[in-house]
Each structure stands twice: as structure tokens, then as C-alpha cells.
Amino acid sequence: MSKSLSKNKKAFHDYEVLDKLEAGIILSGEEVKSIKNGQANLLGAFIDVTDDEAFANEIHVSHYKHSSSKSYDPTRRRKLILHKKEIYKIAKEIHEKGVTAIPLELYLKGGLIKIQVGICRGKKLFDKREVLKKRSQEMDIKRQMKKYT
């Protein structure tokens, strides 16, 4: 059972998720404590690949309140732990037009903090409207069915 620490809910609205990968993430001790306290935000974060290494950018991890260190960058670049095949797959996919890799969720798995990376394609405005319309219709149908049962 994995406990979710932070989710990127906006990602499922703005992107169509093509594939999901699980990765480890290299963090400092105070970052781990801060994330376990729910002080992480994945909004606007993205994954890039440089020199056969994957990095998570713009993940905002707030400063741990009991920490003594004064110089702390909450949106620093954090290295991801992935197999070479997975890194090459991400690199190949993000070089296509309109495809990006973004973090979908931070969660605990066996005492370790893992990150779920999604390879995504951006949705157009009409796609977003269509999804909202379908969801609204399904809710109306459920309401009507509940009335008559």
C-alpha cells in the first residue's frame, strides 16, 4: 500500500497521459521531512533529460520549519533514479512535438519517497470542454437513476 503525499491534479485536466513510470528521487533530509508533512507542490513541474540523466524541475518543497540551514532553494533541480532504458524512453518521447514528461504524484512506498512520472500530450481547449461535458452528463444520469430506484 502506498501513501500519497502530493498529487498534480491539474495535470489530468491539462494533459492526456500516454504512459506512466515510477522513479526514485534524490532528496536531502529536510526535504524528506517537509514532503512527509505535505509541504510539496507539483504544479508547474516538469522532467527533462540531460547527459543520460533525468531531472525533476520546479517541484516546490517548502523549507522544513525545524531545519537550521538558512540557504535553501525550494524549487531546485532534483535528480531522478531510473533505469537507462526508461531514461532513453523519456528522452525519445519528449523530443516529439507536443509531448512532455511531468510528475503526477509523490508517494511513499516501503519507506521511500517515489515519484510517478507521466509522459503526456497537451490537451486542446475543446478536448477539455468535451471531458467536462461528459462528466456532467454522467452525473445527471446517475442522479436520475437514483431518483427512480
Domain boundaries, the chain: 3-123
User: What is the percent of the chain where pLDDT is above 90?
Assistant: 44
Q: Which CATH architecture has domain 3-123?
A: Beta Barrel (2.40)
Please provide the DSSP assignment of 44-113 as one string: T-EEEEETTEEEEES-EEPPPTT-------TT--EEEE--HHHHHHHHHHHTSTTEEEEEEEEEEETTEE
**Global pTM value:** 0.79
pLDDT, averaged across the chain: 89
- Cβ-proximal residues to 131 (8 Å cutoff; 6+ apart), any chain: 13
List C-alpha distances in Å: 106 to 8, 38, 49, 109, 113. 9, 10, 19, 10, 7
- 2: helix, strand or coil: coil
Give ∠ CA 26-44-97 in degrees, rounded to 5: 100
User: What is the percent of the chain where pLDDT is above 70?
Assistant: 99
Dihedral sign, CA of 13, 122, 19, 36? negative
Q: What pLDDT, on a 0 to 100 scale, did the predictor assign at position 1?
A: 52
Q: Are 55 and 26 in contact (CB under 8 A)?
A: no
CA 79 – CA 37 distance, rounded (Å): 21
Residue 82 binned pLDDT confidence (cut-offs 50, 70, 90): very high
Give pLDDT tens digits for 21-48: 999 999 988 889 999 888 999 998 999 9
Mean pLDDT value of segment 101-126: 90
Mean pLDDT value of segment 49-68: 89
